[in-house]
Amino acid sequence: MTRRGPAVRPLSAILIGLVFAASCSSADSSSVDGSSAPEAADPSASTSTSSTTSTASSEPSSTALEEQVADLVVCPDVAFPEAEPASSTGWDLDGDGATDEVLTFNVEGVWSLGVRFQAGGSALVEIPDADPFTDVRSIGAVDLSDDRILEVAMALGGGAYTQSIGFIAFRNCALVRLMFENETPASFLTGASVANALGIFCSAGVVEQFEFTLADETAEDGGPMFEGSFQSYQLIDDRFVAGASNESTLSEDELAAIDLLACGGLAL
């Protein structure tokens, strides 16, 4: 017969026993001096309180909701021309994250642009310098003013190989045509032919117009050269103010490598 040694109690069991003994001793001493032991907390009550607190903190208060509604500005409605829209596109022009409907109208040769906002209301502006015989349309939207609010880019018409581009901004429930500092409507040209190239660059608060024409001189390889300049305009208070103008001479390959419309993804 094989004899078994005494059972070895696990250390965890010993510790549990010591803790239990200590608690019993504390309870007995409380009974001796006449004081009663504290009652155990009700687990269901604790759970209910915690759940209520969590729910209250995760839901916005009525005051917070009222403040959000008060901050939401809804523009009034304006009358649009009765004519059918010539074009319809969509961009977020008021910065609320929703796509607004952008429409163009031609009434007896006078173009206008209207916007219906998803948040409610509408706005309309005339574009008197647009070509009455060309389809005026929105070609995109770009943040020229660097305020995280988009400006609408409009194709306004042009010549045989050029296209004129203007910009319209949303300001205080109204559409405003961006102007040059001499108070004429701002427009920029893009396009190219065998002897000419025009285009625009856009960055935060700046538009740069460049124009090059075929020069008399030729490159070392016998290819044509083009002479021209880069003229910058800074957008200040909805006015394009002329800045530096840099003259340059480019080869045919160098000119061909330049994007004629490098402006926030705009496309004709």
Q: What DSSP state is assigned to residue 257?
A: T
Which pLDDT does position 222 carry in this prediction?
Answer: 85
Grouping H, G, I as helix, E, B as strand and the rest as coil, residue 79 is: coil
Which pLDDT does position 145 carry in this prediction?
Answer: 85
Q: What CA–CA distances, in Å, run from 119 to 14, 93, 97, 116?
A: 70, 11, 10, 9
Other CB atoms within 10 Å distance of the CB of residue 121? 17
Contact 214, 226 (CB under 8 A): yes
Which pLDDT does position 63 carry in this prediction?
Answer: 53
Which pLDDT does position 62 carry in this prediction?
Answer: 54
Specify which residues 179 forms β-bridges with.
185, 239
Q: Cα separation of 249 and 69, whole Å?
A: 57
Q: Cα separation of 134 and 117, whole Å?
A: 26
* Mean pLDDT in order along the chain per 10 residues (268 residues): 40 40 45 46 46 46 46 85 95 93 95 96 95 91 89 92 95 95 96 96 92 91 93 95 96 94 92
User: Which residues, other chains included, contact 177 with Cβ-Cβ below 8 Å and sequence gap of 6+?
Assistant: 125, 127, 166, 167, 168, 185, 186
Q: What CA–CA distances, in Å, run from 125 to 75, 88, 94, 106?
A: 15, 15, 16, 12
Other CB atoms within 10 Å distance of the CB of residue 234? 14
Residue 171 one-letter amino acid: R
Q: What DSSP state is assigned to residue 160?
A: S
Q: Cα separation of 102 and 84, whole Å?
A: 13
Specify which residues 142 forms β-bridges with.
151
Question: Could you give the angle at the alpha carbon of 47 between the alpha carbons of 41 and 50, nearest 5°?
Answer: 110
The candidate with the shortest Cα–Cα distance to 121, out of 72, 167, 186, is 72
